[in-house]
Amino acid sequence: MKTILVIAAAALWACAHAQVPSVDELRAAAERGDADAQGQLGVMLVTGGPGVPANRTEGVAWIRKAAQQGSAPAQELLGGMYAEGVVVSRDDAQALLWLRKAVEQHDPNAQVRLAFMYLGGRGVDRDAIEATRLFGLAAQQGNPVGQYNLAISYSEGDGVAAKDDAQAVLWFRKSADQGYADAQFALGLRHATGRGVPVDHAEAARWYRKAADQGHARAQYALALLYGTGQGVPEDVDEAVRLLRLSAQAGFGPARDGLKRLGKP
């Protein structure tokens, strides 16, 4: 089964090359020892596609070759596969090994993945301080997931000296500005509740809408509530119901409950 992890890796490798070589061209380059070609070929074989039958065993072997040659994207991908049990069996020790190698090369995606390993105590003792340090490294490189999770650390006071709403808002905003839906919702919630910023329902609605348009169920629900009460937006029951339905369809329980209370199917 194709996974978000592997598909995302394929997209990253494709973006790095204006013209993606054919599988035969990649195989020839990979056999000559080209690490980047090995990684791309590995991803193609893992995911399969038009004219490329999936062969996971061979695909992982090529990704491993690229990782062993020092390709940070391949190291991050291999570590992520082991961390998530995707394509290979879950193995925290192997995940840590490969993620650390990529982190040594300052790979921001690996910094985020390794941070989650420390945050969850996966293969290591839980260490929120180290997790926050790694999120911070990724955040400083512009990684939106790192920025969002650094904001969470400041918001909850986990892995930092103390809660800091100003820093939380700063990093939520940096992540939200890059289109990260969780951060957009979080920033909307901050404006709705006045935590770290003045209460501003119109600004809350603006950020909720950005996340809702990406299918974020909680943002859809929160925006529906604003339309239902006319806070920050014109009161519009039909729009509120529409958003509640979208949120409910995504499995958000409070949205289903809200539709029941309104007597809407």
At 196-228, the pLDDT tens digits run 999 999 999 999 999 999 999 999 999 999 999
Hey, what CATH topology would domain 181-265 get?
1.25.40
Find, among 168, 192, 167, 171, the residue nearest to 180 by Cα. Answer: 171
Tokens 């839906």, residue located: 181
Residue 10 confidence (pLDDT)? 54
For all residues of the chain together, what is the average pLDDT?
A: 93
pLDDT of residue 49: 79
Residue 6 pLDDT > 80: no
The kind and range of the H/E element at 142 are: none
Residue 23 has what pLDDT? 86
pLDDT at 12 over 90: no
Confidence of residue 106 (pLDDT cuts 50, 70, 90): very high
Structure tokens that stand for 169 in this block:
């808002």
Cβ atoms of 139 and 174 closer than 8 Å? yes
pTM recorded for the entire structure: 0.91
Tell me the mean pLDDT in the region 110-115. 98
Give the domain ranges of the chain: 181-265
